[in-house]
Amino acid sequence: MTRSHSPVTQVVAIGIGAALFFVLGRFAAIPTPIPNTSINIQYAILAVFAVLYGPFVGALAGFIGHLLIDVTGYGIWISWELASGVFGLVVGALLLKNAIADGEFGTSLAIRLNLSILLANGVAWLLIAPLGDVLIYSEPANKVWAQGALAFVANSVTACILATIILSVYARTRTRSGSLSRDQ
């Protein structure tokens, strides 16, 4: 089932999603030996927002959230900010049809979610971010592909595990369609 959200709901979801992305990315990142690359959990939250509110919300929450992280830390690095937006866009687009809000989260949806996260991370961190770094910033290819590979693996593992848990728990809090009946 596809749900549509009002523009006000979408703006609020973008703001909350970007804020959570920022806070988790700025204060809960685990450093790695590869420079300017960390293990992050904010991509799980971004996947949750993209699934619940759609690709538009996912794309903007990811882009704005990553922009805020970079502005308050490394400086603007547009190729990685775009990659975060693409991650949210791809996950949201691939999971447009779901019934999580109706309390349904079965094995097939969990598999779809995880495959979507893997594909989105692949596009974001193995293609867009490193290619952008080479083309825009003339960064050394071996460095940016090492960063992208680590980001792909770390973000895939954390997002798959945490987003699956969060969405599964969320679905259990929802009333299933047709679960209420009228006593006769």
Domain with residue 101: its CATH number is 1.10.1760.20
Report the mean per-residue pLDDT for the chain. 92
CA dist., res. 151 & res. 164, Å (int)? 19
Phi-psi region of 175 (alpha: psi -120 to 50; beta: other; left: phi over 0): beta
pTM of the model: 0.91
184 domain residue, yes or no: no
Q: What pLDDT digit, counting tens, does each position of 111-132 carry?
A: 999 999 999 999 999 999 999 9
In a domain, 180, yes or no: no
pLDDT in the model for residue 168 = 97
Mean pLDDT value of segment 2-23: 91
C-alpha torsion sign, points 76, 35, 124, 48: negative
Domain of residue 95: give its range: 7-173
How many domains are there within the chain? 1
Q: At what angle do helices 107-123 and 78-94 cross, to 10 degrees?
A: 160
Asked if pLDDT for residue 65 goes beyond 90, the answer is yes
Q: How far apart are CA 74 and CA 70, in angstroms?
A: 5
Residue 184 has pLDDT above 60, yes or no: no
